[in-house]
């Protein structure tokens, strides 16, 4: 059996981090890695408290450098063949969700599995942003070639990974994680702050896209080729 690591990247998630870590640690992962991206609330102290109860590899970054850097640190620290990424602001995370993410990878049904929470702002069946989900699984060896780019991608990290997998025609599978809730920014903070964060994240996604035009070109060529076939 291939080993599986869970990687949780957290920034100011004191309200949900305990339940997410508890759900992950109660599953049979070979390794649990938690990256605290210089949180300014109680996230770090909660992680340290839970370390007294669970076996976790907790890394507390001194500066906030964005989600991409945190994910890259988790990949570098991992000792497993399969990696499962989970956001730190989830509710109702359970064993079935992990199995939905892991089993298709183990059975070689997919190179990457993207898990879509059913409780989101958009109808999950029509969600145009489902590829941006933070719940995903993949093999470590597949992501290593773009690890340096991931480090500087910030919130554009999901865009970069998705482009890379499409450009090289890797198999991507979407699964619905029934009952899983992922809050919107408007539920987590004030309306004005939510707009600011969305604008910043949109800018980072656009920057990642522009910095990877070669991958976009490959994706377009693949689509044209598949259409002709």
Per-block mean pLDDT, blocks of 10 residues, the chain (229 long)? 96 96 97 98 97 97 95 97 96 96 97 86 51 86 96 93 95 94 84 88 88 91 82
- pLDDT computed for residue 1 by the predictor: 82
Report all structural domains of the chain as residue ranges with CATH numbers, in order of start: 4-228 (3.90.550.10)
Q: Name the token pair of 168.
A: 């090289």
| DSSP letters for 182-201 | ---HHHHS-HHHHHHHHHHH
Q: What is the pLDDT of residue 131?
A: 60
Crossing angle of helices 17-25 and 43-50, in 10° steps, is 30
pLDDT at site 123: 52
Query: Would you tell me the crossing angle of helices 213-228 and 157-167 to the nearest 10 degrees?
Result: 40
Q: Residue-wise over 159-173: b if at least 16 C-beta within 10 A, else e?
A: bbbbbbbbbeeeebb
**Are the C-beta atoms of residues 89 and 65 closer than 8 Å to each other?**
no
Cβ-proximal residues to 160 (8 Å cutoff; 6+ apart), any chain? 68, 146, 149, 150, 153, 208, 212, 215
Closest by CA position to 18, among listed 88, 67, 70: 88
pLDDT at 134: 80
CA distances from 77 to 59, 83, 114, 146, 173 (A): 9, 11, 22, 16, 26
> Considering just the CA atoms, what is the radius of gyration of the chain in Å?
17
């Amino acid at each position: 059996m291939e080993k599986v690591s869970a990687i949780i990247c957290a920034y100011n998630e004191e309200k949900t981090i305990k339940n997410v870590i508890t759900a992950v640690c109660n599953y049979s992962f070979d390794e649990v890695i938690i990256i605290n991206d210089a949180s300014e609330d109680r996230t770090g102290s909660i992680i340290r408290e839970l370390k007294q109860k669970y076996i976790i590899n907790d890394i507390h970054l001194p500066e906030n450098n964005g989600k991409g850097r945190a994910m890259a640190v988790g990949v570098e620290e991992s000792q497993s063949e399969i990696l499962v990424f989970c956001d730190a602001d989830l509710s109702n995370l359970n064993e079935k969700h992990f199995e939905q993410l892991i089993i298709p990878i183990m059975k070689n049904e997919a190179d990457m599995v993207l898990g879509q929470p059913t409780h989101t702002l958009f109808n999950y069946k029509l969600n145009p942003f489902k590829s941006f989900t933070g719940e995903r699984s993949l093999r470590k060896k597949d992501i290593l070639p773009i690890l340096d780019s991931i480090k500087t991608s910030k919130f554009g990290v999901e865009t970069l990974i998705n482009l890379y997998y499409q450009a090289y025609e890797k198999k991507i599978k979407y699964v619905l994680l029934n009952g899983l809730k992922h809050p919107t920014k408007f539920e987590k903070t004030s309306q004005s702050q939510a707009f600011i964060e969305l604008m910043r994240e949109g800018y980072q996604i656009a920057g990642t896209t522009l910095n990877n035009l070669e991958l976009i070109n490959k994706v377009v060529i693949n689509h044209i080729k598949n259409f002709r076939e």
